[in-house]
């Protein structure tokens, strides 16, 4: 019989001096000769695979396992020092924030319209107030200057729109100045025409708001086109002053009411936040301002239509 062939052990392969052969079974059951399992790791467990390092030469127990943390997990973010999730959702994705924003905007717009149309009714139905308003044009000019300055400040200064209570003070100044101007314009029209214009404006505005909330058509992508149409409408009104006629006045008023009805639909969809473009929930004062001005401009254009038709 030939002798049993001996194979080098791990120590021999790694450069050790041991040339002992592998012992046949039964194998030793003493814990001192057995490899110890890795240390227990408390949850949460990593998403990635656990990597065990190679056994060190001459060592019996391997070092603890190395944990691999996947980017975006809680442990990985804490280790990297970021503390932010991989996907950040906007505040408009929260339905509670969106509903509170919509409720706040339309509540402010409702108060503004109640104040404005109340002043319009006083300026229209009271003959004494009507004559006093028409006699002093400087108050109208002062109201127009206040409106332009404060409205531009609210439009271009985001800090003013978000700073309480200055945002509500500025919005109140805009509302009062616009109410005086609209009331002055309405005092030159017939009482019946003013009532019809107010009713028509409320019906049109309410219908557009409901339509904007229900339709799947995205009007927010047409904002640039409507700005071009608004500039064309402005030039049309300028040249119409040189060739005035009642028919031209009715056409001008109809086109203006149509353009700003589309602007109202765009602004409502931006407030609702269901389309491509939307407003920041912190910009509720600016959102209320633009919707309020859209409705007031529609009212003025309807007055132009009724004024041209009454002259016929």
48: confidence class by pLDDT, cuts 50, 70, 90: low
- Classify 267 in phi/psi space as left (phi over 0), alpha (psi -120 to 50) or beta: alpha
- Spatial neighbors of 167 by CB under 8 A, at least 6 apart, are 154, 160, 161, 285
309: confidence class by pLDDT, cuts 50, 70, 90: low
Residue 291 in this model has a pLDDT that exceeds 90: yes
How far, in Å, are 71, 92, 133 from residue 88 at the CA level?
14, 12, 55
C-alpha span between 131 and 55 (Å, rounded)? 101
Contact (CB, 8 A) for 131 and 184: no
pLDDT in the model for residue 155: 85
Picking from 130, 108, 124, 121, the residue whose alpha carbon sits closest to that of residue 175 is 108
Residue 14 or residue 48, greater confidence: 48
- Spatial neighbors of 37 by CB under 8 A, at least 6 apart, are none
177: confidence class by pLDDT, cuts 50, 70, 90: very high
| Length reported for the chain | 312
Residue 172 in this model has a pLDDT that exceeds 70: yes
C-alpha span between 173 and 288 (Å, rounded)? 14
Residue 6 in this model has a pLDDT that exceeds 60: no
pLDDT in the model for residue 237: 86
pLDDT in the model for residue 44: 65
State the average pLDDT for the chain: 77
- Spatial neighbors of 65 by CB under 8 A, at least 6 apart, are 38, 39, 41, 50, 51, 52
% residues pLDDT > 90 (the chain) = 28
Residue 88 or residue 206, greater confidence: 206
Q: What is the mean pLDDT of residues 39-54?
A: 61
pTM of the model: 0.67
Q: What is the mean pLDDT of residues 207-215?
A: 86
pLDDT in the model for residue 112: 94
Contact (CB, 8 A) for 248 and 255: no
How far, in Å, are 26, 45, 154 from residue 42 at the CA level?
36, 7, 55
**Exposed, middle or buried, 21 (CB in 10 Å: 0-12/13-18/19+)?**
exposed
How far, in Å, are 139, 288, 296 from residue 117 at the CA level?
19, 16, 10
Task: Quickly tell me which residue has 């006045």 as its tokens.
Answer: 249
Q: What is the mean pLDDT of residues 75-80?
A: 44
Half-sphere exposure of 268 (CA within 13 A, CB side): 22
pLDDT in the model for residue 109: 93
Picking from 148, 106, 92, 142, the residue whose alpha carbon sits closest to that of residue 274 is 92
pLDDT in the model for residue 163: 82
pLDDT in the model for residue 56: 53
3 state SS of 122 = helix
- Classify 72 in phi/psi space as left (phi over 0), alpha (psi -120 to 50) or beta: left
How far, in Å, are 22, 29, 35 from residue 26 at the CA level?
11, 9, 17
């Amino acid at each position: 019989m030939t002798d049993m062939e001996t194979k080098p052990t791990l120590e021999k392969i790694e450069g050790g001096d041991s040339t002992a052969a592998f012992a046949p079974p039964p194998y030793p059951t003493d814990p001192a000769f057995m490899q110890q399992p890795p240390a227990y790791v408390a949850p949460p467990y990593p998403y990635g695979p656990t990597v065990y390092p190679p056994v060190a030469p001459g060592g019996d127990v391997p070092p603890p396992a190395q944990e691999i943390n996947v980017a975006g997990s809680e442990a990985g973010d804490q280790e990297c020092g970021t503390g932010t999730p991989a996907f950040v959702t906007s505040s408009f994705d929260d339905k509670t924030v969106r509903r509170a924003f919509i409720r706040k905007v339309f509540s402010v717009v409702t108060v503004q319209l109640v104040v404005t149309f109340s002043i319009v009714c006083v300026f229209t139905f009271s003959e004494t107030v009507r004559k006093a308003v028409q006699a002093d044009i400087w108050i109208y000019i002062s109201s127009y200057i206040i409106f332009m300055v404060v409205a531009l400040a609210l439009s271009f200064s985001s800090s003013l729109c978000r700073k309480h209570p200055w945002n509500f003070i500025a919005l109140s100044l805009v509302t009062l100045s616009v109410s005086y101007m609209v009331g002055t314009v309405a005092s030159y029209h017939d009482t019946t025409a003013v009532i019809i214009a107010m009713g028509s404006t409320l019906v049109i505005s309410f219908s557009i708001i409901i339509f904007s909330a229900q339709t799947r058509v995205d009007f927010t992508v047409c904002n640039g086109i409507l700005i071009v149409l608004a500039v064309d409408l402005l030039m049309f009104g300028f040249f119409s002053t040189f060739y005035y006629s009642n028919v031209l006045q009715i056409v001008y008023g109809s086109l203006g009411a149509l353009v700003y009805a589309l602007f109202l639909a765009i602004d409502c969809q931006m407030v609702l936040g269901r389309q491509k473009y939307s407003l920041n929930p912190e910009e509720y004062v600016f959102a209320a301002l633009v919707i309020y001005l859209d409705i007031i401009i529609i009212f003025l254009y309807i007055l132009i239509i009724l004024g041209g038709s009454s002259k016929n």
